[in-house]
Amino acid sequence: MSENTGLPLEGIRVVEFTHMVMGPTCGMILADLGAEVIKIEPPGGDKTRNLPGLGIGFFRSFNRNKKSVVIDIATPEGQETAAELVGECDVVLENFRPGLMKKFGLDYETLAARFPHLIYASHKGFLPGPYENRLALDEVVQNMAGLTYMTGPKGRPLRAGSSVNDIMGGMFGAIGILAALQERNRTGRGQEIQSALFENCTLLAAQHMQQYLMTGEAPPPMPSRVSAWSVYDVFTLADDEQLFIGAVNDKQFQILCKVIARPDLASDPALATNAQRVEVRPALLEKLGETLRLHRTEELQPRLEAAGIPYAPIVRPEQLVHDRHLVESGGLVPMETDDGETTQVVLLPLLMNGRRPGVRHALPKVGEHTEEILARLPGHATA
C-alpha cells in the first residue's frame, strides 16, 4: 500500500539504481513530492555514503525520503530480483557508466519489452552523439561547455563551487519523468528519458552563445565583462567587509546616492542615465568605493533594504546554517540520519498549496527496507 502523504506523486513507485549526485537528486525530488523511491544498493552499501572531503555531504543531501534495498545486480539472481521489482514500479532511475545496465539486463530495451508501462530515466554525461561514450564529471563538462571560462578571470578558468550540472541534471530528469507520467495517462505506455551533464551546461552557457551570434563578438569571462549596469559590483566596506550592491536603473542610482550621502553624484548631469554611467563606470565605482569604505555592513544593509536597493553580503555555506530567512521560512529542517544522529537539510525550493515538501523519513540504513520491499514480490522469500 502507498503511504498516505497528500503529496502529488503519492502512489507512484520508483526504483533507483544510482550513486553520487545526479541520479540521487532526481530520486530525491520525486521522493519529496510523494513518490515511494526504492534505492537499490550493492552489498555493503552505496560507496557515496563514505566519501571523504568535499563529497562527505553528498549522501545525506540527496537521499532523504527513500527506502534502501540491498541487491547485488552483478549476479544473475540479483538481476532477476531487480527486474521483478522493476515490474512493480512506475519509474526506473539510473546514472551508471554507458553500457553497464545493458550488461546486467536492466537497460530500457530489455525491461520495456517486459513492462511496456515503464518510464526509464538515464542520467549520463552526454546525450546520444559523438561524445556519448565518454565518461564525464561535473568539472569535465564545466570546462567543455564554457562555464569555467566564463566564471574565472581571463586565463584562469574556474569551476563553479558546487555540483551545478549534477544537480541540474537530476532536476531535468525529474521534469522529463513528470511529463512522461502525464503522457502515460493518455497512452498507457512508458518511455525512455535521458538527461545529460554536457547538455545541462550548454544551457547555462546559452545566453553567452546567443550574445556571440547576435554581435559577432566573443563574450569575455564574467570578471572581464562589460556590465550592462553602472553599479553592479562587490564593494569593500569598513573593516574589509564586502557587500554586493546593484543599482540597475536611474531611480535606484539616485536612491543609492541619497543613502550614502553623495548628492554630488546624483546631481551630476554626466551621470544622469545608465548609459552615461556605464561609459565612465571605472571612475564612478572608484568614487562610490571611497565613500562605501566609510560604512559598516551592519549599518548600511538595513538602509539599503529600506530603500529598495538590491544588495547581498558575501555569505559562506557554514553561515547559511543559521540564515534567518532559510530557518524561519522552513527551508532548513532537521532529519534523522542513518546513524541515529540529527542533521539539518535544505528542502526543495518549492511552496505547494502553502507548504514545503519536507522530510518524512529518516535517512535509510543500508538495506533497511530489503525485507519489506522484496516480500511484496510474488513467490519471493527473504532470509
- The chain-wide mean pLDDT, for the chain, equals 96
Encoded amino acid at 278, one letter: V
2 confidence band (pLDDT: 50, 70, 90): low
What would you report as the CA-atom Rg of the chain, rounded to the nearest whole angstrom?
25
What the block records as the C-alpha cell of 351 is: 511552496
What the block records as the C-alpha cell of 336 is: 534523522
Please check the confidence at residue 126 and state whether its pLDDT lies above 80: yes
pLDDT attached to residue 381 = 57
Out of 2.40.30.10, 3.40.50.80, 3.40.50.10540, 3.40.50.720, select the CATH number for domain 13-204+324-374: 3.40.50.10540
pTM score of the predicted model: 0.94
Please check the confidence at residue 1 and state whether its pLDDT lies above 90: no
DSSP class of 271: G
Question: Phi then psi for 342, rounded to 5 degrees?
Answer: -125, 135
Nearest alpha carbon to residue 127 among 199, 180, 22, 191: 199
What the block records as the C-alpha cell of 169 is: 541534471
Over residues 50-54, mean pLDDT: 96
Please check the confidence at residue 383 and state whether its pLDDT lies above 50: no
Over residues 264-284, mean pLDDT: 96
Domain definitions of the chain by residue range: 13-204+324-374, 227-316
Nearest alpha carbon to residue 18 among 68, 52, 56: 68
What the block records as the C-alpha cell of 346 is: 535544505
In angstroms, what CA-CA distances link 280 with 182, 192, 231, 232, 344?
Answer: 54, 54, 11, 13, 46
Nearest alpha carbon to residue 73 among 59, 54, 94: 94
Q: pLDDT digits over 338-363, tens only? A: 999 999 999 999 999 999 999 999 99
Over residues 54-69, mean pLDDT: 97
Which residues are catalytically annotated? 166
Question: Phi then psi for 261, rounded to 5 degrees?
Answer: 60, 55
**Which CATH number is 227-316 given?**
3.30.1540.10
